[in-house]
Amino acid sequence: MSGQREIQEYNYSVFVGSDDFIDFRTIVPVGTSAPDFRATVLETNETVRLSEYWKNKDVLIEFGSLT
């Protein structure tokens, strides 16, 4: 099967994070309230605050992948 890539397992059997990873994980531990912060809406370039949203509806915040 020429031209095909070998499939590699996505998850590590054991992940050893660097100091930066540990610092990131402990700033806002899972289950704590998110701090109120400003963000920019990419489509409109409007600045909004988290507190403008969470009182009216559910909010999902995704910070991206660390892998």
Q: How many domains does the chain have?
A: 1
Whole domain around residue 46: which residue ranges? Answer: 33-67
Residue-level pLDDT at 45? 93
Asked if residue 5 is part of any domain, the answer here is: no
The answer as to whether 43 is a domain residue is yes
Q: What is the pLDDT of residue 12?
A: 67
pTM over 0.85: no
Give the pair of three-digit tokens for residue 34: 């998110």
Q: Which of 20-29, 33-42, 50-59 has the lowest mean pLDDT?
A: 20-29
Per-residue pLDDT tens digits for 56-65 = 788 777 766 6
Tell me whether residue 25 is in a domain. no
Q: Sort residue 61 into left (φ over 0), alpha (ψ -120 to 50) or beta.
A: beta
In terms of pLDDT, which residue wins out, 33 or 12? 33
**In a domain? residue 45:** yes
Residue 6 lies in a domain: no
pLDDT band per the 50, 70, 90 thresholds, residue 20 = confident
Assigned domain for 56 exists: yes
